[in-house]
Amino acid sequence: MTTNSISITIIIKAPIQKVWESLADWEKQGDWMLQTKVLVTSQITEGVGTEISAFTGIGRLGILDTMSVTTWQPPHTCDVVHTGRIIKGTGRFHLREIDATRTAFDWSEEVIAPRAIFFLIWPALFSGVRISLARFSRTFH
């Protein structure tokens, strides 16, 4: 197994606090994440230890991504560890204030998978995340 990296940065026309509040509303992420339904599966809904399940797919065909929040530094950084049977690794949301009305959103993942498999899925993964982040950005217009 190899650790494979993917990252995307977008600029959002909204103040950093507003972007953070929207990102931290886990179950609403399904409104902008492509073909994904997100549920909080723990008693706590924010902060370190929050557990989340995200099912990406159509109908019953898809992948379940379970994760746990490991870093929580509002309004800048949220790290997760992927705990599922298929998806392993870490993810990060990092927000940077550009000015009072614009925020840079750095999204990154470290996916643990054989390099050949990651190479095959990378185009779809990158495209899906890029589309999802563009949809997220449009929620502020």
Convert the pLDDT of each residue in 92-141 to its tens digit.
999 999 999 999 999 999 988 777 878 887 888 899 999 999 999 999 98
* Tens digits of residue pLDDT in 63-103: 899 999 999 999 999 999 999 888 899 999 999 999 999 99
Q: Which domain holds residue 109?
A: 2-138
Can you list the positions of beta strands (E) in the chain?
A: 2-12, 36-40, 51-58, 61-73, 77-83, 88-99, 102-113
Name the domain count of the chain.
1
SS3 93: strand
pTM, two decimals, is 0.91
Mean predicted lDDT score pLDDT of the chain: 93
Q: How far apart are CA 134 and CA 43, in angstroms?
A: 31
Give the domain CATH number at 73. 3.30.530.20
